[in-house]
Amino acid sequence: MYADRRLRVLFAISMTLVALAGLRSVWFALAKADTLSVRAAGQQLQGRDVLALRGEIADRNGDPLAVSEPAADVAVSSKQVLEMKAQTPPQQPAAMAAVIAKSLELPEDEVLAKLSSGKGFEYLGRTVPDTKIQAMKDRAKRLKIRLNGITYTPRNRRVYPNNALAGQVLGTFGIDDKAGSGLEYALDSRLRGVNGRTVDTNAGSGSALRRKIEKPMVPGKDVGLTLDTRIQQMTEDALQELGQTYRPKRATAIVMQPDGQVLSMANWPRVNPNHLDAASAPYTNNLALNFNYEPGSTFKAVAVSGALQDHVVTPETPFTVPYSIQVADRTISDAHGHGTEVMTPGRILAESSNVGAIKIGLKLNQDKGKGAFDGWMRKFGFGRPTGIGMPEQQGLLLPVDKYSGSTMGNLPIGQGQFVTPMQIANLYATVANGGILRKPTVVRTVGGDLVERPKGTRVLRPEVAKEVQGMLTGVFEAGGTASGVKVPGYSLAGKTGTTEIFDEKLGEYSKTRNVASIAGFAPAKDPRVIIVVVADEPAGGGYGATVAGPAFAQIARYAMQYLKVPTNK
């Protein structure tokens, strides 16, 4: 009887437990359904961002200038690494550090310090190429070294196959996947693409069951430039020789087609975007677009062109030109002494007469109004960005109502205004192409499609442009300021410039510091390329023809040969 009662008690207890278990199951099903579903999903579903591949940048012939390669940020949780010391068999951080350091080319003591710090997160390397990461994994597998605690975050590693070639033009792309300067920055929205996202469903063991594309990855668009790597290389070589010979603080050169397509933009000293840590910050700037300077005599083409277009002068108009001229409280002289002479606009340009250029500018304002010369500066695009589509300075023009009595003794000879080398290139392109001002460009295609360009604005009548072209030829002939600058078989046209730098401490123009430049085109009669060379503060000074002229001739000679331009007949 006692045994029966004990069995009944045990049975009752069992039934009670079963009932409680059933009630708990019902409670979980009703009250905790959402929570458990979320927890189960978290254990079975894993979301992963898919990094969009950055578009490539290539030159006009398809030669790559900037490409992306698979890479990742490699980080470590030291806490997880140290936990392996207590596992069976134990693993020491030193063995792991040796593998990582050798594979990623890092100091072993620094890696060991990070593996042993006890921190939850530290970078071992940023934008490490996948080839190095795979080599690390393979080496660890051979040595039976576990890489617990190591994480990999995909990144776009930017590589510049030609190293320093067009370095400042291409710009920078940082380890944080952010564009910093140059074309990388200007074209970032087209190059970047859109990241995607996938969701993996995993079994309880962790093995993948299926993958769902939640958001498709859209790669960035490839961009084709107007630059030509061969002309770019030759331009940089010529600028390198200028730099080594005359030791300016910095220098830049532009080669452009008359229609505004830029074939090369070079800077000296050069910068290799693959190794920016070795470059001084001032040299990472693209001077072609961001050097504000007083242009000097290369600007005299504005006064002559405007006066011809407004019928203020003709190519035969005589000007009485003494050695010096008084404009308000300022006396301006020509660079070389001479008696009073009669000069035409063409001779004024050829011999770079300051007095003659000032007289043309004064006559332009006298006949057409006080703001006439200012209007011509603005018609040629000065005082505003060129619209090239890259970060650029816009120069500076003084408002007419701020003119002093001597202002018109400065402006026609390229003093008192600030310009950029690209603005000067655009001035000479306008003369060379028959009188149409166009926006320069470095982008030719995006995603394989040609980029449509605006038609431009006519500034000069074709016949006026032709007259100015002929006058600028005289600069390279006997008696001209660039008579020693020659390219056998080809006629040249352009203008030299030697600009004294204003010393703010002294309150006057320096006699020892200057900018030497030359701007023009070749061939003179049927222009194919515009060339501008600017050297900032060459050591010991020096005229534009002397300092910048040899580089101009070297670039023109190569361009004529490379483009297969027939020689003069």
CATH of the domain at 68: 3.90.1310.10
Expressed as residue numbers, the domain containing 118 is 53-201+215-225
For β-strands 341-343 and 319-321, DSSP reports them as antiparallel
pLDDT value at residue 81 = 85
Section 454-474 average pLDDT: 97
pLDDT value at residue 85 = 77
User: Are 537 and 408 within one domain?
Assistant: yes
pLDDT value at residue 36 = 46
Please give the tally of structural domains in the chain: 2
Q: DSSP characters for 158-185?
A: EE-TTTTTTHHHH-EE-TTS-EEEHHHH
Section 261-290 average pLDDT: 89
Q: Of 178-187, 325-334, 500-509, 544-553, which range is least confident?
A: 500-509
CATH number of the domain to which 337 belongs: 3.40.710.10
Cα(261)–Cα(241) distance, rounded to whole angstroms?
25
Section 340-364 average pLDDT: 96
Task: Look at residue 104 and tell me whether its pLDDT is greater than 60.
Answer: yes
Section 103-125 average pLDDT: 91
Place 212 in a pLDDT band, splitting at 50, 70 and 90.
confident
- Compare 485 and 1 and report the one with higher pLDDT: 485
- Compare 549 and 7 and report the one with higher pLDDT: 549
Section 412-438 average pLDDT: 97
Largest CA distance in the chain: 147
- What's 304's DSSP letter? H
Contact predicate 551/496, CB 8 Å: no
Contact predicate 235/266, CB 8 Å: yes
Section 438-456 average pLDDT: 95
Instruction: Report which residue type is found at 94.
Output: A
pLDDT value at residue 13 = 65
User: Are 189 and 315 within one domain?
Assistant: no
Residue 414's Cβ-side half-sphere holds a number of Cα atoms within 13 Å equal to 33
* Count of Cβ atoms closer than 10 Å to residue 175 Cβ: 16
Contact predicate 242/535, CB 8 Å: yes
User: Are 138 and 250 within one domain?
Assistant: no
User: Are 149 and 101 within one domain?
Assistant: yes
H or E stretch including 27? helix 2-31
Q: Flag whether 545 is in a domain.
A: yes
User: Are 410 and 517 within one domain?
Assistant: yes
Task: Look at residue 459 and tell me whether its pLDDT is greater than 90.
Answer: yes
Q: Flag whether 23 is in a domain.
A: no
Residue pLDDT, tens place only, 495-534: 999 999 988 887 888 888 999 999 999 999 999 999 999 9
Task: Look at residue 394 and tell me whether its pLDDT is greater than 50.
Answer: yes
User: Are 161 and 239 within one domain?
Assistant: no
Q: Of 168-177, 240-249, 263-272, 559-568, which range is least confident?
A: 168-177
Q: Flag whether 470 is in a domain.
A: yes
Section 193-222 average pLDDT: 79
- Compare 252 and 127 and report the one with higher pLDDT: 252
Q: Flag whether 8 is in a domain.
A: no
pLDDT value at residue 20 = 63
Residue 50's Cβ-side half-sphere holds a number of Cα atoms within 13 Å equal to 16
Q: Flag whether 37 is in a domain.
A: no
Q: Flag whether 207 is in a domain.
A: no
Section 85-111 average pLDDT: 87
Q: Flag whether 280 is in a domain.
A: no
pLDDT value at residue 280 = 67
The separation between the first and the last C-alpha atoms of the chain, rounded to the nearest angstrom, is: 135
User: Are 349 and 244 within one domain?
Assistant: yes
Residue pLDDT, tens place only, 15-62: 666 566 666 655 555 555 555 454 444 456 767 777 888 999 999 999
Task: Look at residue 7 and tell me whether its pLDDT is greater than 90.
Answer: no
* Count of Cβ atoms closer than 10 Å to residue 536 Cβ: 19
Residue 26's Cβ-side half-sphere holds a number of Cα atoms within 13 Å equal to 6
Contact predicate 191/221, CB 8 Å: yes
Section 456-465 average pLDDT: 98
pLDDT value at residue 18 = 57
User: Are 358 and 435 within one domain?
Assistant: yes
Place 210 in a pLDDT band, splitting at 50, 70 and 90.
confident
User: Are 253 and 150 within one domain?
Assistant: no
- Compare 567 and 25 and report the one with higher pLDDT: 567
* Count of Cβ atoms closer than 10 Å to residue 237 Cβ: 15
User: Are 341 and 385 within one domain?
Assistant: yes
Averaged pLDDT score across all residues of the chain: 90
Section 212-228 average pLDDT: 92
Task: Look at residue 67 and tell me whether its pLDDT is greater than 50.
Answer: yes
User: Are 186 and 317 within one domain?
Assistant: no
Section 206-221 average pLDDT: 79
Of the chain, the percentage scoring pLDDT greater than 70 comes to 89
Q: Flag whether 20 is in a domain.
A: no
Contact predicate 428/530, CB 8 Å: yes
User: Are 400 and 535 within one domain?
Assistant: yes
- Compare 96 and 20 and report the one with higher pLDDT: 96
CA 534 to chain centre: 18
Task: Look at residue 185 and tell me whether its pLDDT is greater than 80.
Answer: yes
